[in-house]
Chain A
Amino acid sequence: MAASVTRPALSSLCKINSNINGIYSLTSFSRRISISSVLSTSAVTTETEAAGRGVRGQRRSKRQAGEPRTERMTVDQDWTAVYPTAASFKPSAVPLPVRMGYPVKRGVPPAKKGNLELIKIPNFLHLTPVAIKKHCEALKQFCTEWPSALDSDEKCVKHFPIQVQSKEFVSAGLSLRNPDVRIVTLKVKLSSLNLDDHARKKMIKLSEERYCKDTDTLTITTDSCPLRQQNYDYAMYLLTVLYHESWKTEAWEQEKTRADMEEYEWEDSPSQKKVLDTLLRMRALGAKDEVEEGTREELLGQPAVQEYRDTMLRLKNEGETEENLQQYKEAVKKLFNI
């Protein structure tokens, strides 16, 4: 068997050695191989091997493959010992009769032996529930105790409103480093920050698309620095700066126009003016002119007008729905006493 194994090795070495200057390297390799072939003369393995060495001709008996180790596996074996880490699918080590692949015409999917499809796909044979349980037990010693006072989600959010996320990557390769590990994401709910109305609106305006209205969360993702520590510091710095800036009021903020407003305000809006106008005209048909000022407040204070205001606000801020439009219709009808 030694001869049958080493001959092809020697032939491949011949091809390599043609590129290397110096014949003595070839002789040294051949000497090493011949030394190792001396080792196997002590125990002749099979008849085929003996025949192979006896007949130095073209007929070289092939080394037989042994039986796959699935034959020797007991039913209650420790599977975590067979697949301790992520490894490709080994048909001789997995005792399951799986089939995979496109079936040939009127046939079945090919069996697992030599099946490239099974090897290509990722498998989780190393992460059976038993394995995960064992790993968790082993990793418990690295963990500290959860603070007993934080026993519900609300308390966690209440005491620790800022969440910082970062990822770790593990892979086998030339390098341990992964550039994505520097990305830091910071999430905070604006309701937990101490903001008044102006500050809140300014903060939202400043953060643009980082603010999500549905969940009231500000998300800051930083990846501009090369290290995670630096990105974390930068994210905290951004939060601090946003907060303080939003509390300040600059001189030019007075020039905020109606187009810059986030919500629709009814005061001083064209709608209000129109309603006033209409009501005054309605009134003016019937009675004499009174003092404008008082009339205004009085008119505005009427419940119908208030209702109209509410429905108008609802329509503009929340969008047009069936319900809103119905309510608007009712309000208008009441306003004009229809």
Chain B
Amino acid sequence: MASSCSQALRHHVCKSSRILRVHLQKAWPNRSFVLNPAADQQPAVSSPEEEIVIPKKKTWSKEAVLQALASTVNRDPTASDYRFQDDPYLTPKTSSEFKLFSLSQESGRNAAKYFISTYPKYFQKDYAQPHIPCLMPETLEAQIEEVSEAALIERIQMRKVKAAVDLYDQLQQAGTPVSLDVTNQLLDLICFYGDCDPAQENVPEQRNEETEDVQDEPQTKKGRASKASDKLKAAWKENNNAERIFALLSEPNTHSYSALIRGMVKYGAYSKAFSTYTDLLNNQLKADVSTFNALITAAPEVKEKYNEKWELIVDLLKQMAEQKVKPNLLTLNAVLKALRRCGTVGKSQAFPVISEMRALSIDPSLASYNHLLSIFYKPGAPFQGQTDILQEVMNEVSGKSFTPQDPDDAQFFITAVRICLDTKDIEQAYRVHELLGVGENWRLLGNDFQQNIYHARFFSLLCMMENIDVVLKWYRDLVPSVYYPSSNVMRDLLQALDTDNRLDLIPQIWKDLKQLGHGNRQTLVEELLTLMAREKQNQEVQETFAECALDIKKMYDTGDRGKVMMSWTAGSLSDLVSVLLAAQRRQDAWEILKLFKTHNRVPSEELLDKFLTCIKESGDVNQALELVQISAGFCLPGTPKLIQRVQQEFLLSEQQKSMLSDLEIQTFNSD
């Protein structure tokens, strides 16, 4: 219950009012006002002209008041996720810190659960009033030891696949008949887990109970990547326990076939699934709706051409109608998902399918809309006049609150925002974002990884399409409380700043960049420097640029501590010097100029020209001479021009004039 509570509080989008359960109940009147018993008056009528009508008392569920009060609370745009401590030292500032902190919290919780379950005798006392069952130790070992059907049921409920199969074999050998229901449950268990023990959620690797098949994954990892690899590793093996037990059954019924077929489809044995289905038909049994759903999911795998796939699906649906099996939402979603693999056939058939299902009063869920959008908007394909489909879908779903009904519901928002990004449709993106704020829809955004993708796409679209004020408003709203942008997104933001000519905000963005941990990305930093150095701004802005530039310089100087993160390039050094010069910081610029030599980079002629102009304003002749010497040291072709300029513009002493003429001859000779 603790974990479900924490998930219940996970919302960082503005909520509209929640649905409350308020019942009006009949009978017993409000008991805080009771009349004088001796006077024996009825509460309703006191005097002829007024009648006191006491309204009936309302009743509500236990959490209704709390939910009502919670509906007044919006998201705080400066606070980080509710999971973390609200302290400037302890809140995560980068996305890797966010992952680390949330995972470490989870691992701590798992460790605690592990201890409680492993040593339950120390945790028996129950302090909580009312009783909280999920905080009590849970039994990990099966209790019933003897070989009986009850023991089998217990092992099935504890999801111990291997133990259940062994016990079943023992029961068969002992000759005790196992009822068909229990065997069906066993088949369900085996087919769901693909004949391997499920990786225990809260227990770190228990070597004594492990078999070779259990994947050695870190249990705390929650990304989609781990689940996909789970599925890929486990494949439907030949003659595995499910098939064996199924063969032992004398009269398999619909449930047994259903379990077997669904297991086969889940673990990739598609053609086998279809042959099992033909067996089922041969035995004159009817299949149930989940069998058909599984078969429809498997249909695109067994056929090659688009129309063959579609014909197979239509065939299955017709058989479903013959056997009088009513389709449900998962059928619709399976058909639509299969249509994704059917190319142009999918495009023509998608809408008819939806309208037929609507006629059977099956309302599409977010997963159906997701599949629909994926059918029409293939990633990477050019779009020709299909932009209105997204709009139609958004018209359908706007303002509605959806509950999770299908695992693919969580993909809808990511797909929708991807399409908005690809079609550059900011209006629809706003509508998608608004939908996220309706009711319970925030639950359908997915885990942290998916939320990151969603926000990255949304924010990139904003940077592309909206003007800088709107972008900054969203930036301040989302970052860093909800979303830690990656360096690409920050680059988009910089481009948006550039487009709208708000380069004065660069020092602020640099501060955020440092905090987000992108302060040592070379390309990003170089782009920053280029943007700052490009034009001359007014005085205060230039000052801030100079400060920012010096700060950036510090990021390069990690030499005394170990690894050097970024290396100077000629371009970045030149930009840095230009910025400092524009802010009249000659001394700092001079230091940087010396860095050219240390890092083996060659300055450009324009840079030295600019520097000379700056020196001229201050009139420091020695520095001018040093500048010329530096230029000569690099053997730059522009050195003679520099020398000429110095001779013309500066007041030189005899010594200096002779030095200059020597240099001139030197460069002339070297050319």
The residues of A that contact B60 with a CB separation of less than 8 Å are 142
Quick check: is A294 within 8 A (CB to CB) of the other chain?
Answer: no
Quick check: is A141 within 8 A (CB to CB) of the other chain?
Answer: yes
A147 CA to B86 CA, complexed, in Å: 47
Quick check: is B671 within 8 A (CB to CB) of the other chain?
Answer: no
Quick check: is B39 within 8 A (CB to CB) of the other chain?
Answer: yes
Contact residues, B468-497 vs A (CB, 8 A): 476
- Contact stretch, chosen from A27-35, A254-262, A269-277: A27-35
- Please, which residue of chain B has its CB at the minimum distance from the CB of A143? B58
The residues of A that contact B100 with a CB separation of less than 8 Å are 2, 5, 36, 39-40
Contact residues, B510-556 vs A (CB, 8 A): 514-515, 517-520, 554-555
- Contact stretch, chosen from B28-36, B272-280, B634-642: B28-36
Query: Given contacts A39-B103, A65-B89, is CB(A54)–CB(B71) below 8 Å?
Result: no
- Contact stretch, chosen from A159-167, A206-214, A303-311: A159-167
A63 CA to B100 CA, complexed, in Å: 15
Q: Are B103 and A50 in contact (CB-based, < 8 A)?
A: no
Q: Are A82 and B79 in contact (CB-based, < 8 A)?
A: yes
Quick check: is A236 within 8 A (CB to CB) of the other chain?
Answer: yes
Query: Given contacts A80-B72, A144-B58, is CB(A54)–CB(B562) below 8 Å?
Result: yes
Contact residues, A259-299 vs B (CB, 8 A): none
Quick check: is B207 within 8 A (CB to CB) of the other chain?
Answer: yes
A63 CA to B518 CA, complexed, in Å: 16
Q: Are B57 and A144 in contact (CB-based, < 8 A)?
A: yes
Query: Given contacts A39-B100, A42-B96, A78-B74, is CB(A160)–CB(B33) below 8 Å?
Result: yes
Quick check: is A150 within 8 A (CB to CB) of the other chain?
Answer: yes
A29 CA to B108 CA, complexed, in Å: 10
The residues of A that contact B69 with a CB separation of less than 8 Å are 135, 138-139
A-B contact count (CB 8 A): 183
A63 CA to B96 CA, complexed, in Å: 14
Q: How large is the interface on A (under 10, 10 to 19, 20 to 34, 35 or more residues)?
A: 35 or more
User: Which listed residue (B53, B86, B207, B558) contacts A50, Cβ 8 A?
Assistant: B558
| Nearest Cβ on chain A to B305's Cβ, whole angstroms | 43
- Contact stretch, chosen from B123-131, B177-185, B353-361: B123-131
A142 CA to B69 CA, complexed, in Å: 12
Quick check: is B215 within 8 A (CB to CB) of the other chain?
Answer: no
Quick check: is A92 within 8 A (CB to CB) of the other chain?
Answer: yes
Q: Are B22 and A142 in contact (CB-based, < 8 A)?
A: yes
Q: Are A138 and B68 in contact (CB-based, < 8 A)?
A: yes
Query: Given contacts A54-B562, A80-B73, is CB(A161)–CB(B36) below 8 Å?
Result: yes
A7 CA to B561 CA, complexed, in Å: 19
Quick check: is A1 within 8 A (CB to CB) of the other chain?
Answer: yes
The residues of B that contact A39 with a CB separation of less than 8 Å are 96, 99-100, 103
Query: Given contacts A39-B103, A69-B88, is CB(A81)–CB(B76) below 8 Å?
Result: yes
A240 CA to B205 CA, complexed, in Å: 69
Q: Are A176 and B86 in contact (CB-based, < 8 A)?
A: no
| Nearest Cβ on chain B to A220's Cβ, whole angstroms | 13
| Nearest Cβ on chain B to A73's Cβ, whole angstroms | 6
- Contact stretch, chosen from B44-52, B364-372, B386-394: B44-52
The residues of B that contact A227 with a CB separation of less than 8 Å are none
A31 CA to B204 CA, complexed, in Å: 10
| Nearest Cβ on chain B to A215's Cβ, whole angstroms | 18
Contact residues, B88-102 vs A (CB, 8 A): 88-89, 91, 93-97, 99-100
| Nearest Cβ on chain B to A124's Cβ, whole angstroms | 16
The residues of B that contact A326 with a CB separation of less than 8 Å are none
Query: Given contacts A2-B100, A35-B218, A66-B89, is CB(A141)–CB(B55) below 8 Å?
Result: no
The residues of A that contact B20 with a CB separation of less than 8 Å are 141
Q: How large is the interface on B (under 10, 10 to 19, 20 to 34, 35 or more residues)?
A: 35 or more
Quick check: is A194 within 8 A (CB to CB) of the other chain?
Answer: yes
Quick check: is B314 within 8 A (CB to CB) of the other chain?
Answer: no
The residues of A that contact B72 with a CB separation of less than 8 Å are 80, 131, 134-135, 137-138
Q: Are B562 and A55 in contact (CB-based, < 8 A)?
A: yes
Q: Are B36 and A72 in contact (CB-based, < 8 A)?
A: no
Q: Are B56 and A1 in contact (CB-based, < 8 A)?
A: no
The residues of A that contact B22 with a CB separation of less than 8 Å are 141-142
The residues of B that contact A58 with a CB separation of less than 8 Å are none
Contact residues, B115-146 vs A (CB, 8 A): 127-130
User: Which listed residue (A24, A36, A93) contacts B86, Cβ 8 A?
Assistant: A93
Query: Given contacts A51-B558, A80-B72, A81-B74, is CB(A67)–CB(B517) below 8 Å?
Result: no
A144 CA to B36 CA, complexed, in Å: 23
Q: Are A159 and B207 in contact (CB-based, < 8 A)?
A: no
Quick check: is B227 within 8 A (CB to CB) of the other chain?
Answer: no
Query: Given contacts A68-B88, A92-B87, A141-B20, is CB(A47)–CB(B558) below 8 Å?
Result: yes
User: Which listed residue (A42, A55, A134) contacts B561, Cβ 8 A?
Assistant: A55
| Nearest Cβ on chain A to B37's Cβ, whole angstroms | 6
| Nearest Cβ on chain A to B350's Cβ, whole angstroms | 39
- Please, which residue of chain A has its CB at the minimum distance from the CB of B53? A147
| Nearest Cβ on chain B to A236's Cβ, whole angstroms | 7
Contact residues, A209-233 vs B (CB, 8 A): 232
| Nearest Cβ on chain A to B12's Cβ, whole angstroms | 11
- Please, which residue of chain B has its CB at the minimum distance from the CB of A188? B36
Q: Are A43 and B517 in contact (CB-based, < 8 A)?
A: yes
Contact residues, A171-190 vs B (CB, 8 A): 174-177
Pick the most buried of B22, B36, B518: most chain A CB atoms within 10 A of its CB. B36
A32 CA to B204 CA, complexed, in Å: 9
- Please, which residue of chain A has its CB at the minimum distance from the CB of B207? A24
Quick check: is B563 within 8 A (CB to CB) of the other chain?
Answer: yes
User: Which listed residue (A2, A50, A141) contacts B68, Cβ 8 A?
Assistant: A141
Q: Are A162 and B128 in contact (CB-based, < 8 A)?
A: no
The residues of A that contact B127 with a CB separation of less than 8 Å are 174-175
Pick the most buried of A160, A176, A177: most chain B CB atoms within 10 A of its CB. A160
Q: Are B52 and A149 in contact (CB-based, < 8 A)?
A: yes
Q: Are A47 and B555 in contact (CB-based, < 8 A)?
A: yes
Quick check: is A108 within 8 A (CB to CB) of the other chain?
Answer: no
The residues of B that contact A162 with a CB separation of less than 8 Å are 33-36
The residues of A that contact B515 with a CB separation of less than 8 Å are 66
Quick check: is B565 within 8 A (CB to CB) of the other chain?
Answer: yes
A97 CA to B78 CA, complexed, in Å: 18
A176 CA to B68 CA, complexed, in Å: 19
Query: Given contacts A47-B558, A66-B91, A73-B78, is CB(A175)–CB(B517) below 8 Å?
Result: no
| Nearest Cβ on chain A to B71's Cβ, whole angstroms | 6
The residues of B that contact A25 with a CB separation of less than 8 Å are 204
- Please, which residue of chain B has its CB at the minimum distance from the CB of A158? B46
Q: Are B52 and A150 in contact (CB-based, < 8 A)?
A: yes
Quick check: is B290 within 8 A (CB to CB) of the other chain?
Answer: no
Q: Are A36 and B104 in contact (CB-based, < 8 A)?
A: yes
Q: Are B88 and A67 in contact (CB-based, < 8 A)?
A: yes
The residues of B that contact A45 with a CB separation of less than 8 Å are 93-94, 96-97, 517
The residues of B that contact A176 with a CB separation of less than 8 Å are 129-130
- Please, which residue of chain B has its CB at the minimum distance from the CB of A138? B68
Q: Are A139 and B65 in contact (CB-based, < 8 A)?
A: yes
Quick check: is B423 within 8 A (CB to CB) of the other chain?
Answer: no
Q: What are the 7 A-B residue pairs with the smallest beta carbon separation, nearest first?
A: A54-B562, A51-B561, A175-B129, A45-B517, A144-B55, A65-B89, A149-B50
Residues of A in contact with B (beta carbons under 8 Å apart): 1-2, 5, 24-25, 28-29, 31-32, 35-36, 39-40, 42-47, 50-51, 54-55, 61, 63, 65-69, 72-73, 77-78, 80-82, 84, 90, 92-93, 131, 134-135, 137-139, 141-142, 144-145, 147-150, 158-162, 164, 174-177, 192-194, 232, 236, 239-240, 243
**Can you list 26 pairs linking A and B with CB atoms under 8 Å apart?**
A24-B207, A25-B204, A39-B100, A45-B93, A50-B558, A51-B562, A66-B91, A66-B93, A69-B79, A81-B74, A81-B79, A82-B76, A93-B86, A138-B69, A142-B22, A142-B60, A147-B55, A149-B50, A149-B51, A149-B53, A159-B35, A161-B35, A162-B33, A164-B31, A239-B37, A243-B37
A31-B218, A39-B103 known; 11 other A-B pairs, CB under 8 Å?
A: A5-B100, A35-B221, A39-B96, A43-B94, A50-B562, A51-B561, A51-B562, A149-B46, A149-B50, A164-B34, A243-B37
